[in-house]
Amino acid sequence: MKSNWKVLTLIALFSSAVTLFAYNLLGFNKRDVILNEASTTPITRLASLTGNAPTGAPGDFSYAAESATPMVVHIRTTMTRTVRQQQMPDIFREFFGDEGMPGMGQGQGRPRREQGQASGSGVIISKDGYIVTNNHVVQDADEVEVIMTDKRSFKAKVIGTDPLTDLAVVKIDANNLPAITLGDSDNLKLGEWVLAVGYPLDLESTVTAGIVSAKGRGIGILSRNMQQQQPGAKAVDTPIEAFIQTDAAINPGNSGGALVNLRGELVGINSAIASATGYYSGYGFAVPVSLVKKVTADLLKFGNVQRGYIGILPRELDSKLATEVGAKVGRGIYVESVTENGAAKAAGIQKGDVIVKMEGAPLDSDAQMREIIGRRRPGDVVNVTINRGGTERDVKVELRNRNGGRDVIKKEEMATSSMKSLGAEFNNLTDKERQQMGVSGGVRVSKIVDGKLAETEIEEGFVILKANGKNVKSVKDLEAIVGTVKEGEGLLLIGMYPNSSRTLYYAVPM
């Protein structure tokens, strides 16, 4: 057994020596973030060198567990919410004034602030303190605290978030941290053993084991969450769900933690569970690392995710739909329509075509297609095989950005253009104003000139507290949110007027 450990140590050192480094040029302090990429030594080769035979057997999980545990951190967040007591009816206010009627006490209807706390996990992806986690772990947080396995604690800054993949990147001020090696989720096999590492139920670092029970699984959870946060508002974009499904035990608090293979390489970020109770019921879901790499690189380099668009209205094909539309195949993505001036139309794809392969892989689901495209940027070329009238043909599709171009659109450019279209001037609330209104932040509409806001019933003086389900504490926050809204889609503003307790909703067409 000791000799096996020596061999494992030598292999680990050798793997580190041949690690490929992915350098992503950043705009932060003109420094590069270095991500560790996995070597190509197969797990079966690792087993043969150590004398173990994991094929068809669980084997020893200790190497992967001990390797990954120091790189998974505990994330605790603090958030503030405004709670309002029941407002005194106007008929009583007329007689007793704002001080309240006898027996009701003072301060009825005035807001008060309450703090709440939440807990999740994160994975260190670079030695200089960049950590990937779930968007829902840090969303709306006033403070983010990162606690290492050695009990060190750091205040973290949220670098970027992406609700469409439920991913986020935070940064702590530290160096020489143990950074995880990024594996290859594309090569994961059904039945392959994986470990979930995180901080479930606010416990200390915990490792559970299971197998990959499905890939490319869409469960609709991101769409539901977005709809709950902004009811009635049109989605800014379609969430990308192509989860790795595992039966490793995952519970609340595991969110943002690591799913690793038997090498200890990251293959996914644990994000959701399927459960009627909110606790583990046998099914957990992780964002594949192939998507994690792309989203985190974009957040670090551009400040927002650069999405390529193929420009079709897709329908997942089955035998029933194939019969209805007269398709010659029973599997693939049926093209219901193509967007004018879109990538698909430029490549010659037509209504009625069936996309049967993408990048050489058979295409079975809409989730699979969105995940493949989601890993690419505007200007990237995707190899697509279509079936038209029973004949297959290969086409190359050059993806386009949200505006129909081929260039990347940085966060600042998107925000500036979109904010101008609102046709208004905005100011941050002062400390005194926040205290009077009982809010932790907000943006006042100080002047409406023309543009989109002039088309609504919003009046000058309105204080924006949320936009598309996200807290707005400053003009900078509002710019970031507005910058993600595509032309033709909606912006839902939630807020109130000073000296009023009513919460108002305004839909702004963009």
Are 172 and 155 a contacting pair, CB within 8 Å? yes
CA separation for the pair 256, 282 (Å, rounded): 18
**pLDDT in the model for residue 237:** 65
Q: What is the pLDDT of residue 499?
A: 82
| 255 known ligand binder | yes
For 270-297, letters b (16+ CB in 10 Å) and e give bbbbbeeeeebeebbbbbbbbbbbbbbb
Task: Please identify which of the residues 121, 255, 271, 290 carries the catalytic annotation.
Answer: 255
State the SS3 of 170-230: EECCCCCCCCCEECCHHHCCCCCEEEEEECHHHCCCEEEEEEEEEEEECCCHHHHHHHHHC
Annotated catalytic, 255?
A: yes
Residue-level pLDDT at 97: 41
Percent above pLDDT 90 for the chain:
51
254 is in an annotated binding site: yes
Clarify whether 74 is annotated catalytic: no
Name the nearest CA neighbour of 357 among 373, 333, 388.
Answer: 333
Confirm whether residue 128 is marked as ligand binding: no
What are the residue ranges of CATH 2.30.42.10 in the chain?
312-398, 411-509
Residues paired with 196 in a beta bridge: 208, 259
What pLDDT was estimated at residue 158? 93
Is the distance from CB of 423 to CB of 454 less than 8 angstroms? yes
Q: Given this model, what pLDDT does residue 417 score?
A: 65
pLDDT tens-digit series, residues 113-123: 567 888 999 99
- For the cut 50, the answer to whether the pLDDT of residue 57 exceeds it is no
Annotated catalytic residue, options 39, 119, 121, 166: 166
Has this prediction a pTM greater than 0.75?
Answer: no
Q: Give one word for 268, left, alpha or beta, with left for phi > 0 and alpha for psi -120 to 50.
A: beta
Band (pLDDT 50/70/90 cuts) for residue 500 is confident
Count Cα atoms within 13 angstroms, Cβ side, for 294.
21
What's the rounded mean pLDDT across residues 446-451?
A: 86
Pinpoint the residues of the chain covered by CATH 2.40.10.10. 72-171
Mean pLDDT of 276-300: 90
For 17-40, how does the pLDDT look when each residue is reduced to its tens digit (9 = 90+)? 333 334 343 343 444 566 777 765
- The CATH number of the domain covering residues in 312-398: 2.30.42.10
Band the pLDDT of 224: cuts 50, 70, 90. Answer: low
CATH number, span 72-171 = 2.40.10.10
How does residue 482 score in pLDDT terms, banded at 50, 70 and 90?
A: confident
The CATH superfamily of 411-509 is PDZ domain (2.30.42.10)
